[in-house]
Structure 1
Amino acid sequence: MNKMLKVMFLCICSLLFFLGYKAPVYKAIGTPRIKAGTTKITGKISSPNEGHRNNRFVKVYVPHPISGETSQYEADIDEAGRFTLVVDVETDVTLIGVRTSSKPYSTLLIKVKSGDVTNIDIKFNSNLDIEDVQTKPQMDKYETMRSWAVMGEMVGYSDGTTPTPLYDKSPDNFLNYVKARVSKKLEILNKDSLMSKELKELLANDFRVSIYSSYAFDYEGYMKLNYKNTAKDKTIKPTIQKIDRSYYGFLKDFNLNNPQFLIYSSFPDFQKEILQNEIIALPKIGESNIPSWLTKAKAILADLVGFKDGPYYDILAANAYGRQLNEEVSQLTEKQKKNIADYWKEGEIAKVLLRKNQAVVELEKFKSSSAVGDVSAVADDKVIETIIAKHKGKAVLIDLWATWCSPCLDAMTQFRSTKNRFKDKEVSFVYLTNGSSPRKLWEEKIKGIGNEHYYLSSSQWEYVMNKYQFKYIPSYILYNKKGVLINKFSAFPGSEEVKKMIDGLL
């Protein structure tokens, strides 16, 4: 949900992790139930410095646990400081994130209900700090303002100790280590005496889910990073232990049948990791009938998650369709729609998936096919030059990304409708990744991205990153129609900002 929080999750080198799970009882927030609905959000932004500034906006981040994504909505703020927007929700109660252009990296946690109207009035002081937040229905002001801030503090906390070598130790040693690390991080949350016990338990569990989504599933990838950060002699290639499916037995600790997972902002990403993990190796749902797919999924997962039946499996099946809808941007076939109707009838999960499918049908009208280019024989210092030469007379936006990079994928989703406006115009969109993206997963994801893609070697990738002085991804390189470098930047600045850059070259 929170883009900068995800960036910190993925880029910070200190390890955070899971301590164990105890299902809490949620009273003020409530236990969510699946429901295909909408909610209306209204409000007013008051700021002594920005009363007449143009292009003010509010962004709302809504976790969609059934279709399996976090959706972003945006509304303009009028001259009186007011805004209104209607968003889709997939549960009867949802915790959303709200940001404003006045303070774009401060996120408020707001509870909304399907079918209701929530009003949010935000007052800024002259330093553009949030001075007051009033919500109707009323929520605790401190918790509204503090929740995402404390999550960021936990991510950023470091005790200053030297990183511990883990790459030469067992996976069990790794999992034991992370329990101690996350315990230390959670002390920040536990020391907060003004936040309710209920919300602290919710945030703690959401935090754990986020960390596992970001790190634990890719054991080999993290061990390589750990080697890079801790090994004294990097000329010796590390021997990293191979893991099998049993490694993911840590999933038992999550009690995934607990419906409270539906309210966690990190749950959609967590489910993606399970569905796309090559070691867990769940089959794609395709046109399989749902009971048959579930039989195969349960045979794989039951020992890992600790149960063979329950509502979690229906959510997982829905998320499997969501991968096709969200990542491939490919509408359901008639056979798939029949399978959904046969299994869920006219239930809420079916309503959610069919609503999402209709949105994909509209997107497919503008979808570009994907093409894979080959620069494997090109010298490191000629890769970008070779790519630009293929697009003479066109502006070129190059996106450096990876399949594991949530901010990269979020940016692509945000930019999708804006990118569609440039169809048939003199601009090309090119995407670069490297071996950190599993090839099979990369081949799946690019179907939904479209345009032109390259899978660079390690040396090619390192050269490009160094040449343009990039420290992390997503990063972007923009060339004009004459092949002249115009801009380079890291972190997605927003769809409208990128649109302005490209418009200025056409």
Structure 2
Amino acid sequence: MIRNLKPIPMKKIICTILSLIIMLSFAYAQKESIIIAATARLTGKITSPNNQSNAISITITVPHLISGEYVKHQTFAKPSGEFSFEVDVETDTSLIGFYTSINPEKSLLIKLASGATTNVDISYNSEDGIKNIETEPAYPQNDMTRALEVVGEMIEFRPDRAPTPLYDKRVDFFLDYINTAISERLNIVDNDPLISKGLKEHLAKDFRLWMYVGHVFHYESEMIRNFRNTNNDQSKKLDVQKIDKSYFRFLRDFNLNDQQYLYCFSFMEFQKEILQNENLGLPVIGDTDIPSWLASVKTILSDLVGFDDGKYYDILVANAYGRQLNEEVKQLSEKQKRNISDYWKNGEIAKILFRKNEEVVELGRLKSPVVVSDVSLVSDDKTIETILSKYKGKVVFIDLWATWCSPCLDAMKDFRNAKNELRDENVAFIYLTNGSSPRKLWEEKIKGIGDEHYYLSDSQWSYVMDKFSFEAIPSYLLFDKEGRLTTKFTGFPGSKEVKDMIKANL
């Protein structure tokens, strides 16, 4: 859920903040990470004096940074409190997000090792706070419980000074400003007395990635936001200076061949920004053979990142295929499979991509065709009425979302199976977004969503948000077969809950 929703780029940053707090995953082994297509087990026991009769749910989020996805798993504890998971992993060590229904606001970081079992026993007190945690293998409890609090403090930090106008400064001034802002916030983690030195180093590395994803890659949007926040004369027209590929020289400062980035939550989003940035203009991999694709990519990137060889490029190739598999939910073509096998043989990255492809083949059977409809000529106050008129006699479920909104995308993924179970029912699934979602990226993402989509004007979007008193996304509207609004809500409550709401209107 996102606060202060208006169709401006700042929402992307706020949405990413909440996603980071909920799902942040770190590992901080000092050795080089090892890419491996493997599984890991998590077992444990939950005890609480307040849950003698209610089933306790446990939710974990596992990073797949090679195939480019965070995978959520949920199970229910037995009456004894015991639980277990067996999950796919893509590196030898992963630190996953973990929370329970007893206190879902308190996420923990739990370390998994490929091919091994991690056991976690958690006891809660009568106030639903964590009383004690025991892990096997042993793991620093402060790192498990304190890390996300530190991240939240860095995110919420505001310097005691007025916002600085950046829109009329040189690009180098802006980049220096961002690096200063990062340094100020990293003082929080540096001075924390509880978490370990190893975790501090990775928190710093990850937070720097996150700040660049949220602010630096989208220079024009950031300047527009800064102009609105620092300029009193709103009648003044902003002429944002154009950037070219040389702007991305900052990539050299990250030493992207460092495989410790495979332990950083924000690395996945960082890679997506590189792959889809229109100023960089990297080609879509498609059916191009991998050596040829890499040759084209290195022509653009090698001078910017500071190297033309190394493991980073293999990871970038895998992430390029991952965009197709995860965002379009489009299986690999036979040509792509041959390209992967020719390049990696029977290597671990090939195994990971083929494993992910098997999942996508199954998901593809559930996905409905994409339909893009247009209401651009419809007045703001008639937008919803016009959309509903196409579905007389049907229950209509409308999802207001954006491409940059991680909770929106997570909700869609969670709802896939439930939506498929309603496929033969008299239900229409409608998705609305606006100009805050880049058109090209929106066109890619809706391929993996299916059903009917509308790209509203900013005025149409604002009218709909105001009419239904929405201040955040994801937000939802549910209409019965007579076109009457029966339910509206913000934030995804869960697949079962939404499915039950829809079925109640059938």
Instruction: Please say whether Structure 1 and Structure 2 have the same fold, judged by a TM-score greater than 0.5.
Output: yes
- Partner amino acid, structure 1, of 2:75: A
**For 1:69-468, what aligned pairs fall within 5 Å after superposition?**
69-468=69-468
- Partner amino acid, structure 1, of 2:37: A
Closer, same or farther in 2 for the Cα pair 1:63/1:13, shift >3 Å?
closer
C-alpha contact 2:15 2:405 (8 A) present in aligned 1: no
- Partner amino acid, structure 2, of 1:277: N
Q: Is the deviation greater in 245-254 or in 480-489?
A: 480-489
- Partner amino acid, structure 2, of 1:72: K
Query: Percent of counterpart pairs with the same letter?
Result: 55
- Quote how far apart the aligned CAs of 1:246 are: 1.3
Aligned-partner SS, 2:336? helix
- Quote how far apart the aligned CAs of 1:215 are: 2.6
C-alpha contact 1:63 1:268 (8 A) present in aligned 2: no
- Partner amino acid, structure 2, of 1:431: Y
C-alpha contact 1:276 1:282 (8 A) present in aligned 2: yes
- Quote how far apart the aligned CAs of 1:399 are: 1.5
Q: Distance in 2 between matches of 1:294 and 1:370?
A: 31
Aligned-partner SS, 1:103? coil
C-alpha contact 1:29 1:111 (8 A) present in aligned 2: no
- Partner amino acid, structure 2, of 1:193: P
- Quote how far apart the aligned CAs of 1:228 are: 2.5
Closer, same or farther in 2 for the Cα pair 1:27/1:273, shift >3 Å?
closer
Residue of structure 2 equivalent to 1:37: 38
Aligned-partner SS, 1:105? coil
Closer, same or farther in 2 for the Cα pair 1:330/1:13, shift >3 Å?
closer
Aligned-partner SS, 2:446? helix
Closer, same or farther in 2 for the Cα pair 1:466/1:264, shift >3 Å?
same
Closer, same or farther in 2 for the Cα pair 1:59/1:486, shift >3 Å?
same
Q: Deviations over 1:320-369 (max 9, x none)?
A: 11111001101111111011000000000000000000000111111111
- Quote how far apart the aligned CAs of 1:478 are: 1.9
Residue ranges of structure 2 left out of the alignment (5+ in a row): 18-26
C-alpha contact 2:43 2:118 (8 A) present in aligned 1: yes
Closer, same or farther in 2 for the Cα pair 1:164/1:470, shift >3 Å?
farther
Aligned-partner SS, 1:106? coil
Q: Distance in 1 between matches of 2:257 and 2:31?
A: 16
Aligned-partner SS, 2:184? helix
Q: Distance in 1 between matches of 2:16 and 2:270?
A: 20
Aligned-partner SS, 2:120? strand
Is 1:50–2:75 an aligned residue pair? no
Q: Deviations over 1:191-226 (max 9, x none)?
A: 112221111001111111122222321111122222
Q: Deviations over 1:55-97 (max 9, x none)?
A: x211111111110111111111222111111111001111111
Count of aligned positions: 492
Closer, same or farther in 2 for the Cα pair 1:366/1:349, shift >3 Å?
same
- Quote how far apart the aligned CAs of 1:163 are: 2.4
C-alpha contact 1:252 1:305 (8 A) present in aligned 2: yes
- Quote how far apart the aligned CAs of 1:418 are: 2.3
Q: Distance in 1 between matches of 2:474 and 2:185?
A: 26
Q: Distance in 2 between matches of 1:14 and 1:332?
A: 29
Q: Distance in 2 between matches of 1:157 and 1:401?
A: 27
C-alpha contact 1:39 1:89 (8 A) present in aligned 2: yes
Give the TM-score taking structure 2 as reference length: 0.93
- Partner amino acid, structure 2, of 1:209: L
- Quote how far apart the aligned CAs of 1:263 are: 1.1
- Quote how far apart the aligned CAs of 1:14 are: 13
Closer, same or farther in 2 for the Cα pair 1:111/1:429, shift >3 Å?
same
Give the TM-score taking structure 1 as reference length: 0.93
